[in-house]
Structure 1
């Protein structure tokens, strides 16, 4: 390996540690899933490192999904032990979510990096709008709708989440609370949904990106192994710091700042697709 490739590899490793640090702090501050932070940070890191634009967003999404395998399993187990996972709902809902994941991952594996970036940008804007405009405790109905609307919602959560490289929290929690779910049960159930998304999503990211040119060094398909190994410990170590800071700052203001960040990121990604 020559000096340039060693330098590039070192720069990539440092960038990925920084990604984990940022993701951990923001996750601790706001209680959001790491994927919604990891994907845009990886996107900008890979852009700065001049990774091939055709695979850049795919690798960001695939690597994020792989990290959810570890963090999601730990989170889901902790919530299950506290009784905050709605197993009855998961038994009725898992197959619709899984079908959505298969459809979304297949679509993501066969569209351009620009199209995938556009999807992330649009959904990021929607999430930001929900965070800024939705009033605390507001809901659409007193309970989840029955079949087939319930299954359609699960399909959409699975499909959109896997295309964005996020777990169940970003879309699952707002959806469940929209139908008057207690927030703790919504968060716990969404953590379990994250595993339903991450397992097949990661495997399909490996499959669709296998042996393609232009990927960062040490990538298995669209999953960057350096990112997987460095983001998880960095985010795990810094999440408590974010939680500590959160107690000293107004959470409403934090939520607004993050929503603005997410909205700006979404707009910037959409702009970058066309210009």
Structure 2
């Protein structure tokens, strides 16, 4: 009987020691987690979670370890479970997952939930989390700006036809062929005629005495006739070179 009792006591002592080992191992895993050694902590957390699948903290720890070891897709389900169990930090990691997937609006929504969870738990935001919040805010602003860009149209043309295809807004004036010039006006073979919105001025290129292109203009006079074209002068014409395409001069 004495030997039997001794054996029972020995078995109980071994079980108690085994329990302590498990508890210490989990505590060690928590420390590994805090130290950033997620790969070593992950199997311990997974084993503990198998026995307590509804535990919010274990779900978060497993989720974060998976995320930090390159298994983001697998991590999401655990973090969502942790969030459903009221773990305050879970939305912060879900926001990070969404941010890394370029889902900036979703990331912003998760971070709003994180703010509320911190307020409810009376906790302050870490510097790391605050940095993530700034990145999410900036990304949303940049993404919203990109969404405002609209592609109206595109067309491929040869060099000679470029200004025929180019379109200006009405307030910027118009580019025209030489057909709009007053009768008898001289012009270079390759040029466009710029007219402001008022259509009371024309500007184009003509040949000077040295057969160089120079910019000339003509203004509409009272009665609807056009004045004699005259050079715009050296300030808008390059001495000894060609000046043409007066698009930007009046815009």
Short-chain TM bin: under 0.3
Greater relative contact order (CA < 8 Å, ≥ 6 in sequence): 1
Normalised TM-score (structure 2) = 0.23
Q: Which has the larger radius of gyration?
A: 2
With the length of structure 1 as denominator, give the TM-score of the two structures: 0.21
Higher helix share: 1
